[in-house]
Structure 1
Amino acid sequence: MSSRSPHPEHRPSEPVRVTPEPVALPEPWRSSRLTVVVPTYDEAGNLPVLVSRLMALDLPELRIVVVDDNSPDGTGEIADKLAIEYGGRLDVLHRTKKDGLGRAYVEGMTRALEDGADYVVQMDADLSHPVGYVPQLLGTLHATDAGVVIGSRYVPGGSLSETWGARRRLLSGWANAYVKTVLAIPVRDVTAGFKIWRASALRTLDLAGIESTGYAFQVEMHYRAYRRGRKIVEIPIHFEDRVVGRSKLDGAVALEAALRPLRLRRAENARR
């Protein structure tokens, strides 16, 4: 028997990270004008890894828009260096302060649409959304008449990182159940942040009128899409937990996430 220690990635004490093999897309799907929007705040340890993985995909027209909220850890400067390294395939939007995930996404999506993207991907910078699913999201959008395809943790085949404890799983499950009950949206993972939009669907949502600033942005986008008749499709993904850096979820963000569905329903009822 070998006396060598196992490779660190295979030690039983460490979580197994799921890395899906990207599907090969046919033309013209493979050459779609696709932009990935990535908001960042203190993601210096994760952004270069994410960008490298995205650029390695067999999607020659893939572009990235990084929206940095003046990260004190230098994420913005790292993004600028990556923009030089990858030429015109990566753009950086610098904001002067931490102003919320929702506002960052609105700015990034607006830029993507202005630059001619036909499809726009939302994903986190913390590597919780495995890059290998991006071609599958794009292929599913092409193969259906959906306005948005969601990478879902809660449809059959979807899963959560094994590092998530019981409390976090219960909280996430409760949040989804609460939002679906309040807004009556037929979506399993209504708080999901990994998805792809058709540009035509995004334009119907009135991005400038989005009110949510934090994670409730995801809910508001899904609700607007549903109320405007955009077809929503979900495919299963494995959701990883971040390894580097800290979560941005705080009390104010959690409070907005709890109150926003009630405000959305009240506003919708007022329009009737």
Structure 2
Amino acid sequence: MPTYNEAENLPGMAEALMGLGLEGLRLLVVDDNSPDGTGQVAEQLAGKYPGRIDVLHRTAKEGLGRAYAAGMTRAVEDGADYVLQMDADGSHPVEYVPQMLGSALATGSGLVVGSRYVCGGRLASEWGLHRRLLSRWANRYVSAVLHTGLRDATAGFVLWRADTVRAARLDQVRSGGYSFQVELKYQAVSAGFTALEIPIHFEERRVGASKMTAAVQVESAIMPWRIRLAGVRTPGRGARR
């Protein structure tokens, strides 16, 4: 769970995860030196749940992709069988986590995507028309360029099998921002891992402002072409809905 200025959101998300009752569930908070004290809040939660919550402190804000890469690498090195990536702002409902894990175990999928755009998936009612159209267009654009077969390639709520994470080559990921979501799924599907999409209700963040800036949107538009032109693998047919 990467964080930057999520001091108000993090405690509720952490408590909800700890309350799921999933054996072996651990939370790794990756904080990019948040000026609002999120790192300190995370340390307090780690003290409350010793051995279940840990904190990876980074010295600078280098982008969502770099934070995810650092956290996922650490999780696999620490022996995780599955790695769940999710936001700290409440937009990814915790109650879907057992279903995502159960789906991965039942199907053997390399990754399970909490999808807004498969049948049954929904966006937050607070989203305006412009934001809805932009999100849908972004996914269709990515699909046209990279042919991953995923309807929600930009999703940030994903459960990964550990061997899929290793094969996705985190150390070679080019994306520093939100396009990390797209690049890592492309790497996995290209390597032949099956991606399963399950429907979720994507919610509006609880507190604070979105980190989606104009610069991030520009990177997200350019990156699929950089990924495709630089890719050494041909995308497989691994996506499933």
TM-score of the two chains, using structure 2 as the length reference:
0.95
2:191–2:233 CA contact under 8 A, matched in 1: no
| Structure 1 portions without partners, runs of 5+ | 1-37
2: CA distance between counterparts of 1:42 and 1:136? 29
2: CA distance between counterparts of 1:269 and 1:90? 37
Identify the residue that residue 226 of structure 2 maps to in structure 1: 263
1: CA distance between counterparts of 2:6 and 2:122? 24
2: CA distance between counterparts of 1:69 and 1:76? 8
Identify the residue that residue 238 of structure 2 maps to in structure 1: none
Identify the residue that residue 128 of structure 1 maps to in structure 2: 91
User: How many residue pairs align between the two structures?
Assistant: 235
2:153–2:185 CA contact under 8 A, matched in 1: yes
**CA offsets 1:138-176 (integer angstroms, 9 cap, x no match):** 000000021000000000000001111111000000000
| Structure 2 portions without partners, runs of 5+ | 235-241
> Displacement, 1:97?
1.0
1: CA distance between counterparts of 2:36 and 2:233? 44
Give 1:183-202 correspondences, 5 Å limit: 183-202=146-165
> Displacement, 1:269?
6.6
Q: Which of these residues, 180, 183, 186, is aligned with residue 220 of structure 1?
A: 183
Q: Which of these residues, 73, 77, 82, is aligned with residue 114 of structure 1?
A: 77
Letter in 2 for 1:175: A
1:44 equivalent to 2:44? Answer no
Q: Stretches of 4+ moved more than 6 A in 1?
A: none
What is the DSSP-based 3-state SS (H/G/I as helix, E as strand, rest coil) of the residue aligned with 2:26?
strand
Give 1:114-193 correspondences, 5 Å limit: 114-193=77-156
RMSD between aligned residues: 1.3
1:104 equivalent to 2:67? Answer yes
Identify the residue that residue 205 of structure 2 maps to in structure 1: 242
What is the DSSP-based 3-state SS (H/G/I as helix, E as strand, rest coil) of the residue aligned with 2:30?
strand
2: CA distance between counterparts of 1:113 and 1:231? 19
> Displacement, 1:226?
1.1
- Of structures 1 and 2, the larger Rg is shown by 1
1: CA distance between counterparts of 2:151 and 2:76? 28
**CA offsets 1:40-78 (integer angstroms, 9 cap, x no match):** 000011000000000000202100110001101100000
Inter-CA distance 156–270: structure 2 relative to 1 (3 Å threshold): closer
